[in-house]
Amino acid sequence: MKPLIAVVFAVVGAVAVMDAQTQSQGRAQRAQPVVAPVPDPPAQTVSGCLKQSPDVPGRYVLADATQASPGQTGGSTGTSGSKSTYAIVGMIPPDVKLSQHVNHKVELSGAIVENTKIDVRSLKMVAANCS
């Protein structure tokens, strides 16, 4: 009879250990936060004069810039708001050669960040000079 009692205690103990491990794993899985992907902000278009940054060597700004109305591109046509200066930030796509367009009027498409910066996705030259 003693061997049977020992077997019963061994089985009960094994089941209790497995149950504790399962509950512990469930708590660990529930404790992990769910991270949802953050969507990219919609692209906006601004038109202005591409200049070297007066404050940071090797950086660029879009001066005298106006933001295009939704669905509009083409320089001053379809623009809204007052003129602003945007610092150009972020990872510039390899096909966008800012240095080749200094003192040109350009349209930049990208995400406006903090109302003073633009994360450039594309560039279109509008005119060979800023006037």
Tell me the pTM. Answer: 0.62
CATH number of the domain bearing residue 58: 2.40.50
Range of the domain at 111: 44-127
| 89 and 72 within one domain | yes
Cα 38 to Cα 25: distance, rounded to the nearest angstrom: 28
Mean pLDDT for the chain overall: 78
| 117 and 68 within one domain | yes
Is pLDDT of 73 > 50? no
| 54 and 96 within one domain | yes
Question: So what's the pLDDT on residue 10?
Answer: 55
| 28 and 58 within one domain | no
Cα 49 to Cα 103: distance, rounded to the nearest angstrom: 6
pLDDT in tens, 60-69: 999 999 988 6
- Cβ-contact 43, 121 below 8 angstroms: yes
| 96 and 49 within one domain | yes
Domain count, the chain: 2
